[in-house]
Amino acid sequence: MNKLPIEPTAEELQLIDIRETLIKNGMIERIFDPVAKKNRYMQTKQGLITLLAYKELTNDLVDEKIPASDSVIADYKRSTEYDQLKKKMKDDEKIIVKTTDWDSGTDQFLPTPDGHAVMQTMLFWIDEKKQKAFQKDLKVQRIKQSVGNWVKEELNPTKIMSGMVKTSVKMGQVADGMAKFAGDTKPTTKKRKWSGRKTRKR
């Protein structure tokens, strides 16, 4: 029996959709790993600078490690390209929004939900450990869902009763068969047909 193809979850589809957008916009690139014999994803220079600028402006993803050496990060932050991108990002309300901290009277930038999702997804696709952990959790979820569906189907009261009746009939048939095999069956008695003649009384 052929297994039905596994349908991707909504979360998987979103990750793939954002990944393709990141590739299209030059933030990450798809490469082939000849050792692992599979495709991998790496951040581009543009992607790294964008991550650094976003993290500095919003203070989001503070616990996330950006895959680059300290010296490379320092060099990029001193570049003219980095300053230009920060200015451009401040005006892009799709990624971050400018707000005012009324206690201090200073301006601050906060990530939009879409901006957070895009940057977090970029880190996801360039970190194989995150991908493996995600696939492991997804596999566990699918197993639980599969078991849950089986329990709902198999432990249906109607199906249980139907199964019990079928089992009872089969057990009866087996018992009869075993009795015949053991020679315990009673000989069948044939009924004599009435000839029509009356017997005389003596």
The domain limits of the chain are 10-126, 128-161
Location of structure tokens 């991998």:
40
* 71/173 Cα distance (integer angstroms): 82
- The reported pTM is 0.67
Residue of 68, 71, 34, 75 lying closest to 51 (CA atoms) = 68
Location of structure tokens 């029996």:
1
Q: pLDDT tens digits, the chain, 202 residues: what are they?
A: 455 567 788 889 999 999 999 999 999 999 999 988 899 999 999 999 999 999 999 989 988 888 899 999 999 999 999 999 999 988 888 899 999 888 888 889 999 999 999 999 999 999 999 999 998 988 887 777 666 554 455 555 555 455 555 545 545 555 554 554 455 555 555 555 555 555 555 5
Residue of 68, 43, 54 lying closest to 114 (CA atoms) = 54
pLDDT of residue 76: 93
pLDDT of residue 201: 54
